Chains A and B, each alone.
Chain A
Amino acid sequence: MNEPVDVLIIGAGASGAAVAWSLAETRMRIVCLEQGDWPKSNDFPSTGTDWEARALEDYAISPNRRALEADYPVNDDDSPIKIANYNGVGGGTVFYAAHFPRLHPSDFRVKSLDGVAEDWPLDYGTLEPFYALNDRMMGVSGLAGDPAYPQKEAVMPPIAMGRTGEVLGTAMNRLGWHWWPSDAAIATEEYEGRAPCINLGQCGSGCAQGAKASTDVTYWPEAIRSRIEVRTKCRVSRIETNDADMATGVHYFDADGKEVFQPAEIVIMACNGIGTPRILLNSASSRFPDGLANSSGLVGKNLMLHPYAQIRGHFDERLDGYRGPPICVWSMEFYETDPARDFLRGYSYQFSRGIGPARTAINGFADGMVPWGEGHHAAFRRLFERSAGMVSVCEDLPEETNRVTLDPDLKDGNGIPAPRITYRLSDNTRKMLEHSVARGVEILQAAGAHDITTKAPVPYAGWHLLGTARMGRDPERSVVNEWGRSHDVKNLFIVDGSVFVTSGGVNPTSTIQAVALYVADQIKSRIYELFD
């Protein structure tokens, strides 16, 4: 058995890093257990000319394809959307595109405003200072004044809009629709010892420049300076409890595969919307037969993945191609509920630049635009560096049938049951996807694009993992309370994407981290009555 610690955090990703950094000032003994290792930026694909191949191998976004030691398999056969993640210090932020929108004020009030799902027990105003703090800690670039949001400060100037942003923005103006340079967790100038973006274009497989705000280069170095310990290659299997229904610590497998018990006064879960329910369900015991913290029966349920549609076109002129962050500008034109539409809630557009040469050929083959044989070279050249488009990020409403359970057969390298995903697209989502495809085609046509292709849902885009241990005031309808503490186990907290009540229609990480900072703040301010 190890020395007891005051706080044990499981998972060193987006939320684990934020909560650790914030709690550091308490001077409690804090340890974070992370199943993966520190990412090595020298090895990132952009350091070689074989970058497009490596992004499909050890840097593939699917844990099932990577199947590295740090990864656990995910049975996603029963889902049209496949799971993507990164398991190591930084978590998903090592691979994320760093598109960094906040939720909108209306997202926290969907039941009151639109009569669907449930309201959050928090509102935008409560989270606002934590969004702002997180923007400073991560180093967010943007342009102040976006009329789709309440006023917010820009920490750094926006990422380059490039020719892509100009062409698509001009089309949006023609249609009279909203667009704005995306907030991006990418340094556009020297920031806190990090070098500025040099447009490597490969944010999706790790930023070798260190410009992209993954938490291994933002929160963690600061947290470690404050003496927080990150113990890598340690995979937690179960949380242990005592007769008082309190967590006593966790069992984990260390780098040598040895099972170790780590006692702790407080346990904080930050394993994401799939990893967290997996461990809670695997912590079932005679006291908690349905899994830990699961008296509501909601652990693992209400999984939300943000179905994406992709709409891409080709232009006569050369655009930015593979250069520059793949993200660019956004649109919130179709974000809020509009009673004239046949679906509730809405979506955002994330506009995107071009792709590399191999990907251009592979997609061109698949879409029937690049032939085999003689015509290959001419067709390839018509597409290469001339493509741009967008994805729609559609709000996924919570449904209990969309869920994470434990697979009865599949196990990870330590013998821990793998998560199994059961997920269907709702009618509302299908209509939203269709709407976003139709409007996306209109936008590309207005921009003068030809050879437009569409895909909905995008199959390999299950990277927003939300809702599987949601927060709320009612213990029968939620897993944690309004400040992240489990209703059932009073020294167990959850801070990752699992706690989302609804998903909104934007990328979630700025909100995940704002919530983690908020929960940390609550822990600090309630420290003497934390378990009451």
Chain B
Amino acid sequence: MTTMSDKQPPAPLTDIERVTLLCVAGHMIPASVEYGVPGADDLRIFADITRSIDRDREALGKALQVVNDLSDGMILALSRAEQAKRLAEFRTRHADLAGVIESVVARCYYRDDRVMASIGMEARPAFPKGYKVEQGDLSLLDPVRARGRIYRDAG
């Protein structure tokens, strides 16, 4: 558990961590011509990812270390097919640590303008414009009304 006194600004990624994360991000969410989106290893998105690790710094470091440990020391040294195999093993054996990388990557990937446009979102914050939601059909409640009271008397 962290306490306030333990909280330091996160240390920057080491070079090895950076290239490992880049490699993992590209495997996790690759670019797609079909959907017209960049991959999570796109330079702009990756720069956002490395800027935004914040409270996950320590856990991310651990996760990347395990990725390399499972890859005979350095995932980058393996072929792409072999990388994918080792990463599948990593996800199965270390779901919690994989979850940390997934969170770090996904929260930046899905706020990229190009990605937002592709999934049908306007590239803007929710506030101040907000969104529209239909009120819904309240006559659907007629059967609930017809059934009558369901609470117990408490005497």
Contact = CB atoms under 8 A, between A and B. Distances in A.
Same assembly: yes
B149 A147 contact: yes
Contact of B147 (A48, A56, A147, A374): A147
B136 A160 contact: yes
A65 B55 contact: yes
B29 A52 contact: no
Contacts of B11: none
A412 B34 CA distance: 52
B126 A67 contact: no
B147 A411 contact: no
B144 A362 contact: no
Interface string A84-122: 000000000000000000001110110011000000000
Contacts of A169: 136, 140-141
A201 B138 CA distance: 21
B37 to A, nearest CB: 7
A410 B119 contact: no
A358 B135 contact: no
B3 A410 contact: yes
B125 A56 contact: no
A53 B125 CA distance: 13
A47 B127 contact: yes
B145 interface: yes
A358 B110 contact: yes
Given A163-B134, A376-B30, A332 B150 contact: yes
Interface stretch (B12-20, B62-70, B99-107): B99-107
B93 interface: no
Contact of A49 (B5, B87, B111): B111
A64 B2 contact: yes
Interface string A122-163: 011000000000000000000101011110000000001111
B132 A323 contact: yes
Contacts of B144: 147, 172-173, 178-180
Interface stretch (A8-16, A69-77, A304-312): A69-77
Interface string B87-115: 11001000100110011001111110001
Contacts of A47: 125, 127
B74 interface: no
Given A161-B138, A166-B137, A361 B110 contact: yes
Contacts of A105: 151-154
Given A67-B2, A77-B1, A105-B153, A165 B136 contact: yes
Nearest to A324: B133
Given A173-B140, A372-B87, A373-B84, A75 B1 contact: yes
A160 B133 contact: yes
A365 B141 contact: no
Contacts of B107: 50, 52-53, 56, 358, 362
B23 interface: no
A209 B154 CA distance: 40
A147 B116 CA distance: 43
B130 interface: yes
B133 A199 contact: yes
Interface in A338-362: 356-358, 360-362
Contact of A381 (B119, B129, B155): B119
Contacts of B6: 67
Contacts, number: 218
A357 B119 contact: yes
Contacts of B126: 46, 51, 200-202, 208
Contacts of B150: 147-148, 178, 332-333, 336
Given A365-B102, A372-B27, A372-B28, A357 B140 contact: no
A200 B119 contact: no
B77 interface: no
Nearest to A410: B3
Contact of B110 (A52, A71, A75): A52
A46 B141 contact: no
Contacts of A454: none
B145 A147 contact: yes
Contacts of B1: 64, 73, 75, 77, 410
A131 to B, nearest CB: 15
B110 A356 contact: yes
A147 B152 CA distance: 11
B32 interface: yes
A530 interface: no
Given A356-B110, A358-B107, A113 B135 contact: no
A48 B132 contact: no
B55 A56 contact: yes
B106 A200 contact: no
A163 B128 contact: no
Nearest to B96: A366
Given A53-B107, A332-B151, 17 more contacts: A53-B54, A56-B107, A65-B55, A67-B2, A73-B3, A108-B154, A166-B140, A179-B141, A199-B130, A202-B126, A208-B127, A357-B116, A361-B102, A361-B110, A365-B99, A372-B87, A376-B30
Task: State the 7 A-B residue pairs at the shortest beta-carbon distance, nearest first.
Answer: A198-B130, A161-B136, A105-B154, A323-B131, A357-B110, A324-B133, A361-B106
19 contacts: A52-B111, A65-B55, A73-B2, A104-B151, A104-B154, A108-B154, A109-B154, A143-B138, A147-B149, A162-B136, A169-B141, A178-B144, A200-B126, A209-B127, A323-B132, A323-B133, A373-B30, A377-B35, A413-B4
